[in-house]
Amino acid sequence: MMKPQHGGMAGHGGGRTRSPFLTSYALTLAFITFVSVLYFKDFSSTLHQPFLTRPPPHRRQIARPRAPSHHHGGGSSSGGGDVVPPFAVGAAAAAGCDVGVGEWVYDEAARPWYEEEECPYIQPQLTCQAHGRPDTAYQHWRWQPRGCSLPSFNATLMLEMLRGKRMMFVGDSLNRGQYVSLVCLLHRSIPESSKSMETFDSLTVFRAKNYNATIEFYWAPFLAESNSDDAVVHRIADRIVRGTALEKHARFWKGADILVFNSYLWWMTGQKMKILQGSFEDKSKDIVEMETEEAYGMVLNAVVKWVENNMNPRNSRVFFITMSPTHTRSKDWGDDSDGNCYNQTTPIRDLSYWGPGTSKGLMRVIGEVFSTSKVPVGIVNITQLSEYRKDAHTQIYKKQWNPLTPEQIANPKSYADCTHWCLPGLQDTWNELLYSKLFFP
């Protein structure tokens, strides 16, 4: 705020008359000051209010309109008219902009948000530079929606919104990668003495002590109880889900202010899924097989019921992250080299691309189930934009679970990880989408 000037032109010397121009200027300045005080008072109070089902009107618009980009041609957001899921994909859909439709723009000035070596929380399975990846281009791509722009991620604003709250990611290793990405996006804004990270079996807790906030990850790859629930030893080929039993896991979710679920990769075992009737402790196990889509919907419906019974939409938020694509066959995107994601350094340019490893059927189930929830569940659609990023996987540049064989070493593509993603990288964009949903529902 400008301080009033005494003497001179302001006319404090006795007997001098005020200039009409200066009088008008003073009144205008006073009006601007009054409006500014009201605005910042309202903005400050908004940060500390409970979560609202709708944001204040002056924060409704997510993006500045921009001319549609046709640089790489057209294309459906789902690789064909019959596969668009029945839910709004982007946070700006209500404003006529779907942030899930756009293109990747190379941007060395604005990306990455952080450096791999300065974030100590990235697990060695995702530190690609530390494990010898020769290129860094995968870190510099920025997602540009067609017709609008994503809001710029603001770590301080995010931390203020989390003050006094628990935010929890629940799901598999891909959800854990997004969790770590968010911690890396925030941690530089927290003093070193005021942050910590601890793991307790399936639960990992990052504390921002000066904000009295926690950001947590809970391992539950099927969301329901399964034989893959051990946080360390869970590589089980014969996967079994215990029906709709959530209690084992959900007791850890209670009390969270923000829940971010995902579950997909572990369901991809074929057309059928084994469902346990009863308990894993029973000597005689009654196991039935269900169509994967039916079993997936059954568990997601159980999650919806739990959310409705345990989450208050007035002071809590719930999100579901859609499917994370894989890139295991280069022929799928028109490369006849019989390769995979190994040595890929640029995104796919075909905006209609939809890989065969991403189930359109399960995508529909996600939309159908969560659209019925009495408590709003924000769908964060990371699938289509991630389909293009064949270059962003960890490939061979990660800590290996087991020693490599001479045959693998001789043929690197044979052990390339085309499922998980390097950090920094693509999953930072997932958190930009989540951020936009948090602040601009």
Which residues are marked as active site? 173, 417, 420
Q: Which amino acid is at 264?
A: Y
At residue 64, φ and ψ (nearest 5 deg) are: -85, 125
Can you state the angle between helices 426-439 and 173-187, rounded to 10 degrees?
A: 80
Three-state secondary structure call for residue 13: coil
Q: Token pair 């679920």 is at which residue?
A: 261
Three-state secondary structure call for residue 395: strand
- How many residues are given for the chain? 441
CB 290 within 8 A of CB 349: no
Q: Token pair 């709250």 is at which residue?
A: 165
CB 157 within 8 A of CB 440: no
CB 382 within 8 A of CB 411: no
Strand residue runs (E) in 64-212: 102-106, 141-145, 166-171, 195-200, 203-208
CB 429 within 8 A of CB 154: no
Burial environment of residue 140 by CB neighbours within 10 A (0 to 12, 13 to 18, 19 or more): middle
